[in-house]
A and B are shown apart, each in its own frame.
Chain A
Amino acid sequence: MARSPERAIRIRASPDWRTLTSTTTAPASSASPAKRRPPKSSGGGLGRYIIVRALLIIPTVFILVTLVFVLMRSTGDPITAKLGGQLPADQLAERIHAAGYDRPIIVQYLEYLGQIATGNFGTTLTDNRPVTEILVTYGAATLELAFYALLVAFVVGIPFGLIAAYFRDKGQDASLRVFAILCYATPVFFSGLLLKLIFSVWLGWLPVAGRASVSAQLQMELLPNKTGLYTIDAIMTGNPAVLGDVLAHAVLPAIALGLLTAGVFLRLVRTNVIGTLSTDYVDAARSRGVSEYRLVRKHAYRPALIPIITVIGLQIALLLGGAVLTETTFEWKGLGFMLSEYLQARDFVAVQGIVALLAVIVALTNFIVDIIAALIDPRVRY
């Protein structure tokens, strides 16, 4: 019985929408050229792939930056949005003119593109700071949060995903799947609030909010070459109490944000491993007497990892979106927290700048993740 491509692809479709869409497009676009190309690919494939993939960053960033510009400016100029109604009309007009917002939109757009190309993402209206400075000041905090959250996601998501696949359709699997669904059915701000309520307010074990207590912060401020990454700064103070304080502050936000992503990872690992477990090569390995544990751990996991890593790249976006909410919940002073502050203040120049900046970051991380995925796949490497 001929195996129709329809089914082969349908099998790849997994319910998480990010997974679903990304994995269904991949085989569809790669299947036809593979059939037509001569079987052996020539050397140097990886180098070419990296270059092509790197070039793709440019249109991605360009499209997002343009989209943000067009959308944000379609409602009018930022000064009216911020100060409209608060200032007399002539003063307002004067300030609009001074900022150049009365020029033709296309001129402003081109100027904006030019600025972005030179790394200038604008200056905030409320406190008159360059957006890039905000990145430098607060980016470290978001990076730190994202790192810890990813750590939680990996530590929870991947082993549990493998366990669920191994015990497929048994009790362990069912409870892990419900756990995974609960993980991403719970908005981070709600799980954050619950964690806060239980561990900080009722039990009093962990701090309620912030990145460090005032005294710890003061000690780190005194460091000559501080990084902004509190974990590293705390180590540099050489004071274990400071490090403990910083880590205690990170626990709840990292869990709240990490569990969200962990749920996605868990089901992703489970589905992909179950998928590869039913391939011929797993059966072939089984027929050589390879143990079931090893089949899951070695034969199914590694090939399953390639689509997983690609999807993890897309999870970076989810993580950043979640970071905005987590940072707001825990008053974690990172980019997301600042974004929400500027949103409340209706400072749309700042919002536009931060969003555009995040677009660049997302495009870059996706690039790196794709390269890693390619490196794992020997079919691309050789």
Chain B
Amino acid sequence: MSTVVNIERLGVSFATDAGAVKAVDDVSLKVERGEVLAIVGESGSGKTVTAKTILGLLPDTATASGAVILSNKAGTAESDVVSLSKKQLRAVRGTDVAMVFQEPSSALNPVYTVGWQIIEGLRAHSSISAKDARAKAIEILGRVGIPDPEHRVDHYPHQFSGGQKQRIVIAMALVLDPGLIVADEPTTALDVTVQAEILDLLRRCRDEFGMGIVLITHNMGVVADLADRVAVMYQGKVVEEADAKTLFASPQAEYTKALLAAVPYVGTGTASAIERAAKRPADWVEQTPVVEASGLEIVYPGRFGKPGFQAVGGVDFVIRPGEVLGLVGESGSGKTTIGRAIAGLTKVTGGSLRVLGHEMNGVREREFRPLRSRIGFVFQDPASSFNPLLTIAECVAEPLVIHGRASNPAAARKRVDELLEAVQLPKAYGDRYPHELSGGQRQRASLARALALEPELLIADEPTSALDVSVQARVLELFAELQREFGFASLFISHDLAVVDILADRIAVLYRGSLVEEGTGAEVLGAPRDPYTQRLLASLPVPDPVAQAERREELRRLREAV
């Protein structure tokens, strides 16, 4: 074994409007050949900055101290990235170290073919002939699992799917056979089933190409699946470093413990769901449902006479009073569309959707408006769900003012303070502007606003997907608490089975606009019947290296069975 990168006492500072800010502080790390080092941390931990420093990709506003000693694959030459000149850096990039980016669709230049982009990297470092370079590009595309590479090499990035694009980005990293690959959240932008495939590919990079990999991620499941060693970063420092099995089995640092405890597990919510079900009155099933969809169909109109796009087709489900329905699906499955349709933001084009006793198919805004006070909505992106020019108190008071419970935001202040307290925010935060709150705080304020009128139905559209895992855990806990207290029915939309499982009484799985499976958490997660649900469940990595290895086998069997 030889060391491919040795980071010594690295410090990185940035110039910001508010003065200099230190992002990485005294970090020392090592990666050996054929080893995957995962750097784990939440946003702001400095993990991405550390990764970018390895390639010398920091922006001009950053300055670095310390050393990043990079060796070539053969172990014959060393260089310190921090002190290299621009020209020397260029020679190192691609040949000694390569990078895989988070968002494959933006990491590929849209106006050049993928082959052109792979060949460009090859020719930047050697005087290889155009013909040989092309042959090599085709070969590498084949090796990362792009079917028909001879033909696909001349295609443009937009002609590939997201997972394929990430394979191409990986191919570009592999083509010069570097000793080290830095993968910055390589699967975050991908659906969980695709994620599993990309993780497999990265594992092959390690095993077949003998590369060292620095894996930057916030997802403990991904770490458990791929990493040999783990470094946990918090606020610019490495708080713990251990091999993967040890770290998950016996974390030492307080932060690591808290982080692991915050990760949602599939199966944790089953018990509480059964408990809740037991408490319901006998005639509960006969009560009028809050939401009832039958044969629900939503088609987005096409432009310029193109056929429309069917987002949802023939979906049936009910949400009864006080019940939480978890709606799970990957991107493009239509889950958000259903949520928006219930809130009257998207038009229902077919079938029937009854919300609080009103038919939404063909509903007019004027008829629906009075009902809005009985529906709450929490949006996905906490950054944009508040008017940046209004204070939090004014935002939370909006529903009260609109529905005549208060004449102006000031008059509603008392109620607003109560609500803020209910979502565990200090009253004083009411006077702040949205940008002065963190993502988790904003999402709590968002809950406060949604609950201001004590609605019977709350639609939560991926309310925690933009949050860090520890913040997510707190928001989910709060949600469960509020649901117990206020007793609202809820449609909880998420792409994450584990998150849905914590809160939902029943889980509905959506795949390409249709409902493939529905049932209690125990039914859907314990014994899934639909092959898609099975695959989805098996693809979800669990934060435990040993268990994850077994699941990987399970997933492989499932794939072979198809």
Task: Please determine if A and B sit in direct contact within the complex, based on CB atoms under 8 angstroms apart.
Answer: yes
* Contacts known (A37-B309, A284-B169); A290 close to B384, Cβ less than 8 A: no
Are B57 and A287 interface neighbours, CB within 8 A?
yes
Query: Is A18 among interface residues, defined by CB-CB distance under 8 A?
Result: no
Query: Is A1 among interface residues, defined by CB-CB distance under 8 A?
Result: yes
Could you list some 26 contacts between A and B, CB below 8 A? A1-B43, A1-B439, A2-B466, A36-B311, A37-B309, A48-B304, A281-B106, A282-B109, A283-B57, A285-B109, A285-B120, A287-B93, A287-B99, A288-B98, A288-B121, A288-B124, A289-B90, A289-B94, A289-B95, A289-B176, A290-B90, A290-B121, A298-B112, A376-B111, A378-B110, A382-B158
Give, as a whole number of angstroms, the nearest-CB distance from A145 to chain B.
33
Query: Is B161 among interface residues, defined by CB-CB distance under 8 A?
Result: yes
Give the interface of A toward B (CB within 8 A): 1-2, 4, 6, 33, 36-40, 48, 52, 279-292, 294, 298-299, 302-303, 306, 376-379, 382
Give, as a whole number of angstroms, the nearest-CB distance from A274 to chain B.
12
Which chain B residues in 101-157 approach chain A with CB under 8 Å? 101, 103, 106-113, 117, 120-121, 124-125, 156
Measured CA separation A379–B101 after assembly (Å)? 22
Q: Which residues of B contact A38 (CB under 8 A)?
A: 309, 332
Q: Which residues of B contact A282 (CB under 8 A)?
A: 109
Q: Which residues of B contact A4 (CB under 8 A)?
A: 381, 383-384
Give, as a whole number of angstroms, the nearest-CB distance from A83 to chain B.
50
Instruction: List the count of A-B residue pairs having beta carbons below 8 Å apart.
Output: 110
* Contacts known (A2-B383, A280-B101, A283-B57); A40 close to B125, Cβ less than 8 A: no
Q: Which residues of B contact A302 (CB under 8 A)?
A: 109, 111-112
Task: Write the B290-311 contact mask toward A (1 if CB under 8 angstroms, else 0).
Answer: 0000000000101110000101
* Contacts known (A289-B92, A289-B124, A379-B158); A284 close to B108, Cβ less than 8 A: yes
Measured CA separation A279–B113 after assembly (Å)? 17
Measured CA separation A335–B304 after assembly (Å)? 37
Chain B contact residues (Cβ within 8 angstroms of A): what range?
Answer: 35 or more
* Contacts known (A379-B110, A379-B158); A292 close to B169, Cβ less than 8 A: no
Task: Write the B307-335 contact mask toward A (1 if CB under 8 angstroms, else 0).
Answer: 00101000000000000000000001000
* Contacts known (A40-B159, A52-B304); A287 close to B98, Cβ less than 8 A: yes
Q: Which of A288, A298, A377, A382 contacts B94 (CB 8 A)?
A: A288
Are A377 and B111 interface neighbours, CB within 8 A?
yes
Specify the chain B residue showing the minimal Cβ separation from A49. Answer: B304
Are B120 and A290 interface neighbours, CB within 8 A?
yes
Query: Is B227 among interface residues, defined by CB-CB distance under 8 A?
Result: no
Task: Write the B374-394 contact mask toward A (1 if CB under 8 angstroms, else 0).
Answer: 000000010110000000000
Q: Which residues of A contact B161 (CB under 8 A)?
A: 39
Q: Which residues of B contact A33 (CB under 8 A)?
A: 303
Q: Which residues of A contact B459 (CB under 8 A)?
A: none
Measured CA separation A280–B160 after assembly (Å)? 18
Are B125 and A289 interface neighbours, CB within 8 A?
yes
State the majority secondary structure of interface residues on A.
helix
Are A303 and B98 interface neighbours, CB within 8 A?
no
Measured CA separation A239–B109 after assembly (Å)? 51
Measured CA separation A6–B86 after assembly (Å)? 34
Q: Which residues of B contact A294 (CB under 8 A)?
A: 120, 124
Q: Which residues of A contact B169 (CB under 8 A)?
A: 284
Measured CA separation A98–B112 after assembly (Å)? 64
Q: Which residues of A contact B94 (CB under 8 A)?
A: 287-289
Query: Is B172 among interface residues, defined by CB-CB distance under 8 A?
Result: yes
Query: Is B232 among interface residues, defined by CB-CB distance under 8 A?
Result: no
Are B124 and A292 interface neighbours, CB within 8 A?
no
Give, as a whole number of angstroms, the nearest-CB distance from A365 to chain B.
23
Task: Write the B267-309 contact mask toward A (1 if CB under 8 angstroms, else 0).
Answer: 0000000000000000000000000000000001011100001
Measured CA separation A118–B46 after assembly (Å)? 69
Give, as a whole number of angstroms, the nearest-CB distance from B116 to chain A.
9
Are B93 and A289 interface neighbours, CB within 8 A?
yes
Query: Is B10 among interface residues, defined by CB-CB distance under 8 A?
Result: no
Are B107 and A288 interface neighbours, CB within 8 A?
no
Which interface residue of A4, A280, A288, A382 has the most chain B CB atoms within 10 A? A288
Are A378 and B120 interface neighbours, CB within 8 A?
no
Which chain B residues in 74-92 approach chain A with CB under 8 Å? 86, 90-92
Give the interface of B toward A (CB within 8 A): 43, 55, 57, 86, 90-95, 98-99, 101, 103, 106-113, 117, 120-121, 124-125, 156, 158-159, 161-162, 169, 172, 176, 300, 302-304, 309, 311, 332, 381, 383-384, 439, 466
Q: Which residues of B contact A6 (CB under 8 A)?
A: 384
Q: Which of A48, A281, A291, A306 contacts B109 (CB 8 A)?
A: A281
Are A36 and B300 interface neighbours, CB within 8 A?
yes
Give, as a whole number of angstroms, the nearest-CB distance from B102 to chain A.
8
Measured CA separation A64–B381 after assembly (Å)? 43
* Contacts known (A287-B55, A382-B156); A280 close to B103, Cβ less than 8 A: yes
Measured CA separation A284–B184 after assembly (Å)? 12
* Contacts known (A1-B43, A285-B120); A299 close to B109, Cβ less than 8 A: yes
Are A283 and B309 interface neighbours, CB within 8 A?
no
Q: Which residues of A contact B106 (CB under 8 A)?
A: 279-281
Measured CA separation A48–B113 after assembly (Å)? 23
* Contacts known (A4-B381, A36-B309, A382-B156); A284 close to B107, Cβ less than 8 A: yes
Measured CA separation A38–B307 after assembly (Å)? 11
Give, as a whole number of angstroms, the nearest-CB distance from A90 to chain B.
57
Q: Which residues of A contact B159 (CB under 8 A)?
A: 40, 382
Give, as a whole number of angstroms, the nearest-CB distance from B205 to chain A.
16
Give, as a whole number of angstroms, the nearest-CB distance from B437 to chain A.
14
Specify the chain A residue showing the minimal Cβ separation from B92. Answer: A289
Measured CA separation A290–B94 after assembly (Å)? 9
Q: Which residues of B contact A299 (CB under 8 A)?
A: 109
* Contacts known (A39-B161, A281-B107); A291 close to B43, Cβ less than 8 A: no
Give, as a whole number of angstroms, the nearest-CB distance from A180 to chain B.
23
Measured CA separation A279–B109 after assembly (Å)? 9
Measured CA separation A176–B146 after assembly (Å)? 46
Q: Which of B93, B156, B162, B309 contacts A288 (CB 8 A)?
A: B93
* Contacts known (A37-B309, A299-B109); A290 close to B55, Cβ less than 8 A: no
Are B90 and A291 interface neighbours, CB within 8 A?
yes
Given A285-B121, A378-B156, 5 further pairs, Cβ under 8 A: A281-B108, A287-B94, A287-B98, A289-B94, A298-B112
Give, as a whole number of angstroms, the nearest-CB distance from A226 to chain B.
43
Measured CA separation A4–B108 after assembly (Å)? 21
Q: Which residues of A contact B109 (CB under 8 A)?
A: 281-282, 284-285, 299, 302-303
Give, as a whole number of angstroms, the nearest-CB distance from B17 to chain A.
15
Which interface residue of A283, A289, A292, A302 has the most chain B CB atoms within 10 A? A289
Measured CA separation A39–B110 after assembly (Å)? 14
Q: Which residues of A contact B384 (CB under 8 A)?
A: 4, 6
Measured CA separation A281–B120 after assembly (Å)? 13
Give, as a whole number of angstroms, the nearest-CB distance from A66 to chain B.
25
Q: Which residues of A contact B99 (CB under 8 A)?
A: 284, 287
Measured CA separation A282–B117 after assembly (Å)? 11
Measured CA separation A302–B99 after assembly (Å)? 23
Measured CA separation A283–B309 after assembly (Å)? 34
Q: Which residues of A contact B332 (CB under 8 A)?
A: 38-39
Are B381 and A2 interface neighbours, CB within 8 A?
yes
Are B93 and A286 interface neighbours, CB within 8 A?
yes
Specify the chain B residue showing the minimal Cβ separation from A284. Answer: B107
Give, as a whole number of angstroms, the nearest-CB distance from A106 to chain B.
33
Measured CA separation A37–B55 after assembly (Å)? 37
Measured CA separation A14–B169 after assembly (Å)? 31
* Contacts known (A290-B121, A379-B158, A382-B156); A280 close to B381, Cβ less than 8 A: no
Measured CA separation A276–B39 after assembly (Å)? 29
Which interface residue of B111, B117, B311, B381 has the most chain A CB atoms within 10 A? B111
Q: Which residues of A contact B93 (CB under 8 A)?
A: 286-289
Specify the chain A residue showing the minimal Cβ separation from B113. Answer: A378
Measured CA separation A297–B167 after assembly (Å)? 26
